[in-house]
């Protein structure tokens, strides 16, 4: 169940923390977000350290599909409707700038970086595509309508973004992480103002950045209300006629396609963690019907944190948490969002202006329909009288037969059948 990235890259190793440490900035969590923060802070000459509970990129990042694009579904029509043209344009600019940062960095890194066009297709709705095209026109962005993208089934059309990219995320991380100040196998157990207690010593730092995927502090920022987790599944196929470009269904339950050498990565089967969904079975059925000669060479699954309004939370952690910052809620677009987070947080820490700070501020309004859904799901989870229960907030866990795990529908914690914690926000194993 290892991703092709894990199978084909060697990540550098780092020592565990073995004594107390003082640094100006501490970063907690070594996935794409934390590592890019560390990289940008180091480039800016800031004194920093990063602690990672396990190995770097052992979380969601190792199981991504690694498309680097500002095309995050049909998001721009929605952003204009909910935030106005100015903010929608900022979102586009921030993510296009992140793509350009990757382009520059990857020019000197052997990480299979390839320029590709990105497409979002709809199976049924030409109207949705037209709305997105006119939203993009209002933002002054040159997208295109494509009537018959080269997919093995009929679609109503697709919106195309030119010159986006894909890469090998772990080869990229190998190169940028090797000279960073990182402590692996160093888990933060307690977090207080200017101080993090780990299993290897206490780190004192004026500023602390939390990039633990789901933020680890419950009592500030309301992230347990503002986030939920959504799972997706991936198959790597040989002998599937390869697609030139990166494709995604506008429907949350639809499919995703990209090439990787002679492999085709087929993604989908998605569902809220702890709820039923298509999983690998749905992908296998699709592959059998549309690529009868294809063979599955690898399969994996992962989940990402989803926000109330489709925009990540990047900035100060909460109202009363001076010096504490967070980057989370990448809505399955964590490649460009991590780069945006690193730029915004580096500027915040250095006291520099950044045009995107207000757009991504975690303090923005929570009054969105998804808030009620999250609240209701948590209430149902807490009231459901089954065992076992999640140590995070006491919700009833659901058995995930595809992956043999116990999953929490409320906030997305997951546990192996022996009770070992797989995914946060829970910090503890299941009690026997």
Site residues for ligand FAD per CB under 6 A: 28-34, 51-54, 58-61, 63-67, 187-188, 211-213, 216, 232, 234, 267, 302-304, 330, 332-336, 338, 424
Other C-beta atoms lying within 10 Å of the C-beta of residue 29: 27
Cβ of residue 366: shortest distance to ligand FAD, in angstroms?
Answer: 21
* Of residues 130 and 282, the one with the C-beta less far from ligand FAD: 282
Q: What residues does 231 pair with on adjacent strands?
A: 271, 303
Cβ of residue 323: shortest distance to ligand FAD, in angstroms?
Answer: 18
* Of residues 286 and 396, the one with the C-beta less far from ligand FAD: 286
Cβ of residue 29: shortest distance to ligand FAD, in angstroms?
Answer: 3
d(CA 141, CA 75): 13
d(CA 213, CA 192): 19
Distances (CA, A) of 263 to 47, 120, 196: 41, 21, 43
Tokens of 281: 């079975």
* Of residues 30 and 316, the one with the C-beta less far from ligand FAD: 30
* Of residues 189 and 376, the one with the C-beta less far from ligand FAD: 189
Which of 166, 307, 306, 311 lies closest to 247, judged by CA? 166
Cβ of residue 355: shortest distance to ligand FAD, in angstroms?
Answer: 21
- Do 207 and 26 meet the contact criterion of CB atoms below 8 Å apart? yes
What H or E segment, with its residue span, contains residue 164?
A: strand 157-166
Cβ of residue 327: shortest distance to ligand FAD, in angstroms?
Answer: 7
Composition of the chain by helix, strand, coil, percent to 5: 30, 30, 45
* Of residues 78 and 138, the one with the C-beta less far from ligand FAD: 78
d(CA 363, CA 358): 9
- Do 406 and 399 meet the contact criterion of CB atoms below 8 Å apart? yes
Which of 195, 425, 197 lies closest to 322, judged by CA? 195
Cβ of residue 57: shortest distance to ligand FAD, in angstroms?
Answer: 6
Cβ of residue 280: shortest distance to ligand FAD, in angstroms?
Answer: 12
């Amino acid at each position: 169940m290892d991703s092709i990235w894990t199978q084909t890259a060697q990540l550098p190793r780092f020592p565990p923390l073995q004594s107390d440490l003082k640094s100006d900035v501490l970063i907690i969590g070594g996935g794409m977000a934390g590592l890019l923060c560390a990289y940008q802070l180091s480039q800016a000459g800031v004194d920093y350290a990063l602690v990672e509970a396990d190995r770097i990129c052992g979380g969601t990042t190792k199981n991504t599909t690694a498309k680097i694009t500002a095309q995050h579904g049909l998001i721009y029509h929605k952003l204009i409707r909910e935030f106005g043209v100015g903010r929608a344009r900022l979102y586009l600019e921030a993510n296009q700038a992140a793509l350009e940062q990757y382009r520059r960095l990857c020019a000197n890194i052997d990480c299979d970086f390839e320029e590709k066009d990105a497409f979002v297709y709809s199976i049924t709705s030409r109207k949705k595509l037209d709305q997105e095209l006119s939203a993009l026109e209002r933002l002054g962005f040159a997208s295109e309508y494509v009537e018959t993208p080269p997919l093995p089934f009929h679609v109503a059309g697709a919106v195309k973004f030119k010159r986006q990219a894909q890469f090998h995320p772990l080869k990229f991380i190998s190169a940028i992480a090797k000279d960073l100040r990182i402590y692996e196998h160093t888990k933060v157990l307690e977090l207080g103002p200017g101080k993090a207690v780990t299993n290897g010593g206490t780190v004192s730092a004026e500023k602390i950045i939390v990039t633990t995927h789901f933020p680890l502090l419950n009592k500030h920022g309301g992230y347990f209300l503002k986030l939920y987790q959504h799972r997706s599944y991936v198959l790597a196929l040989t002998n599937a006629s390869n697609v030139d470009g990166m494709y995604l269904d506008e429907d949350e339950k639809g499919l995703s396609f990209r090439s990787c050498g002679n492999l085709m990565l087929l993604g989908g089967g998605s569902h809220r963690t702890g709820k039923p969904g298509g999983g690998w079975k749905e992908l296998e059925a699709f592959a059998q019907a549309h690529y009868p000669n294809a063979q599955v060479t690898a399969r994996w699954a992962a989940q990402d944190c989803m926000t109330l309004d489709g925009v990540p939370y990047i900035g100060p952690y909460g109202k009363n948490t001076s010096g504490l910052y967070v980057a989370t809620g990448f809505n399955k677009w964590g490649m460009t969002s991590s780069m945006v987070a690193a730029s915004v947080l580096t500027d915040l820490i250095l006291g520099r202006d950044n045009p995107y700070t207000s757009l991504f501020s975690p303090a923005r309004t929570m009054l969105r329909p998804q808030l009620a859904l999250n609240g209701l799901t948590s209430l149902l989870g807490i009231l459901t009288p089954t065992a076992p229960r999640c140590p995070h907030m006491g919700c009833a866990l659901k058995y995930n037969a595809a992956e043999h795990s116990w999953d929490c529908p409320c906030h997305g914690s997951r546990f192996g059948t022996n009770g070992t914690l797989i995914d946060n926000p829970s910090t503890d194993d299941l009690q026997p």
